[in-house]
Amino acid sequence: MLLVDLDDVAASRPGKPLFSGLSVVIRTGDRLGVVGANGSGKSTLLRVLTGAAEPDAGQVRFGKDLRVAMLDQTAVLDGATVRDAVAGAASERVWEADAVLDRLGMGALADAPLDALSGGQAKRAALARALVADADLLVLDEPTNHLDIDAIAWLEERLAAHRGALVLVTHDRHLLDALTNRTLELDRGAVHLHEGGYDAYLDARARRDELDAAEESSRRILARKELAWLRRGAPARSRKPKAHIARAEAVLAGPAATQRPDAPDLAAAQSAGLAMPRLGDRVLDLEGVGFAWSPEQVLLADVDLSIGPGERLGVVGPNGVGKSTLLDICAGRVQPDEGSVTVGPTVRLGYVDQRAASLDGDARVREVVAGPLRQPDWRDAALLERFGYAEDTQWAPVRLLSGGERRRLQLVSVLAAGPNVLLLDEPTNDLDIDTLRALEDLLDDWPGTLLVVSHDRAFLERTVEDVVVFGAGGSVARRPGGYAAWEAERRAGRRRGRTASVAAPGSAEGGSAGSTSVSTGPSRGRSDGSASGAVGDRGSGSRTKPADGSSPQRSTSTINHELRAATKRLEAAERRKAKLEAVLADAGGDHGQLAAAGADLETALAEVADAEERWLVLAEELEQRRSASRSG
């Protein structure tokens, strides 16, 4: 059934056209992902699509008796309590409202008044309202913002079961890949509609960029030929047409057609002046740290955390357990109730918190980057340009920027100060996918120390080496091997009938009873779901220094590097195994193919076992190395 028909639609914002010539039809069963750079008009398109805003040109036609539910970036709620706002006037939906609120981490606030909610809580309540509504068309603008990883996994299942149409703007690449079957791309005012999900969009865009590059190469060749002809001049010519020469030179000097003016070039920005001072051996040490809002709300209890130079830690756990508070304590914004925090003498801290909205709306973009102590200069202009801010945008007041552009501006202003330790609190919120990939590339080569709170699974997979896991009662545990290893451990735990995500370090998942040290090692759940009880007896696999000092002790960074390589090798072996299993399933009665695939699968299984064994040995070595450091 036809739900919405957009015909030759155009939209703009003050001083900037967003898109034009946009035509798309949405029918029941469509799963449309909308992608594009920050400020390209994604949120504007969603409001036009739902009738909340009028386009500058074109027509929007809606199906008869169309029921629409929308999650906007700005949550507007009506009612006395959260439950009232979510269920509305339909009393029969109260039970579902309570269930959805609970899944989104809002169950305890169902009876809370709306004016008591934080911005993130209001956004989750608005998402619950959209999910509970009986809608033919569900339109969601960044629904994963302010959700923890478990809530996002549940949301993915819920949206997959939605029987109507879905239109989705999100930076969560896992969500896009799992849910969408069509992709609408907004690119520099142009519109591209791709039949297929996120992978189809990536493939089409890559092919388009290759074509643009080929056309750019031909354009420059022709320009060089014309320039040579103009400079040489005809035999009878007495003077050369200087204006024509200048235009040809401009073609050669100008930016390539494939360079998106609003796409950040963070690698170039780093090489062009994001200087990082030397970082010494001591970075951040938390000893016996505790913090509570009240006796009933303990966030941290007896936490020991040592962060060394070049380490990359992801902080994960449910909403409200204290992840942002941990970063505030590390940054010195919040003082712990007990324990101590020691910051190394060479540390220059940069903190990207969740308060991008606090930027002065009347300040100009250049002024924000320069800071309050000096006037903006050419260096600020060059840096902003490399982060995707055109010259006219640099002079614009902050209030005219989109949410994603503000978030990116906050990131620029922090990086411009040249930190060697970065604290990132939900850095992916409101950023477009291009900026996320560019930020991941920058962090790949950035030599400083990183501590990041994030719910973005793809971002964590690419940027962190270990994860710091929040558990019950203020407990915290450190898991080596990065997000992928922790997630594999959780899946194994669920298959064994228990959840590892909230396991205290003193439980069977973490270590000795009563311990809340973050230096505990992984539970080492095997990929087949069985527990690996032999690991604790594998002392010969460790390289911990003997008591007589005869063998040198390997550094934590060296072991971490090998553990990352082992994780990648294990993931590659698992992918090869899965691919061969699929070949076997599709082989049917082809005995030749079955025999070949079977032999290959035996090899792949051996590779998986070998890679898994190497990962376990390194994880054990890392745990023993950290234990030795603490005891020493």
Query: What pLDDT was estimated at residue 243?
Result: 59
- Measuring CA to CA, how many Å separate 591 from each of 155, 175, 538, 588, 595? 43, 39, 42, 8, 6
Nearest partner of 329 among 317, 344, 341, judged by Cα: 341
What's the pLDDT tens digit per position in 564-614? Answer: 777 777 777 777 777 777 776 666 666 666 666 676 777 777 777 777 777
- Measuring CA to CA, how many Å separate 165 from each of 168, 259, 413? 10, 34, 40
* Position with higher pLDDT, 48 vs 589: 48
d(CA 423, CA 450): 6
488, 495 Cβ separation under 8 angstroms: no
What domains does the chain contain, in order, with CATH numbers? 2-202 (3.40.50.300), 542-632 (no CATH)
d(CA 318, CA 233): 72
Alpha helices in 371-432 (DSSP H): 378-386, 391-394, 403-416
Mean pLDDT on 349-360: 79
Query: What pLDDT was estimated at residue 542?
Result: 34
Query: What pLDDT was estimated at residue 104?
Result: 93
Asked whether the predicted pLDDT for residue 503 surpasses 50, the reply is: no
Residue 349: both structure tokens together: 């801290």
What's the pLDDT tens digit per position in 505-556? Answer: 333 333 333 333 443 333 333 333 333 333 333 333 333 333 444 444 666 6
Amino acid at 97: A
Residue 50: both structure tokens together: 């739902």
24, 9 Cβ separation under 8 angstroms: no
Q: What is the pTM assigned to this prediction?
A: 0.65
Average confidence score pLDDT of the chain: 78
What's the pLDDT tens digit per position in 84-102? Answer: 999 887 777 788 999 999 9
Query: What pLDDT was estimated at residue 499?
Result: 44
Asked whether the predicted pLDDT for residue 224 surpasses 80, the reply is: no
* Count of Cβ atoms closer than 10 Å to residue 146 Cβ: 23
Query: What pLDDT was estimated at residue 593?
Result: 64
Mean pLDDT on 250-264: 51
513, 503 Cβ separation under 8 angstroms: no
3-state secondary structure 452-509: EECCCHHHHHHHCCEEEEECHHHCEEEEECHHHHHHHHHHHHHHCCCCCCCCCCCCCC
Query: What pLDDT was estimated at residue 249?
Result: 57
Burial of 448 (0-12, 13-18, 19+ CB in 10 A): buried
Strands 165-169 and 137-141: parallel
Mean pLDDT on 133-155: 92
Helix (H, G, I), strand (E, B) or coil at 276: coil
* Position with higher pLDDT, 541 vs 434: 434
Alpha helices in 531-589 (DSSP H): 556-586
What's the pLDDT tens digit per position in 382-401? Answer: 878 877 788 888 888 988 88
Angle formed at CA 275 by CA 272 and CA 281, multiple of 5 degrees:
150
**Residue 138 confidence class, pLDDT cut points 50, 70, 90:** very high
346, 281 Cβ separation under 8 angstroms: no
Strands 449-453 and 466-470: unpaired
Query: What pLDDT was estimated at residue 408?
Result: 85
Query: What pLDDT was estimated at residue 242?
Result: 58
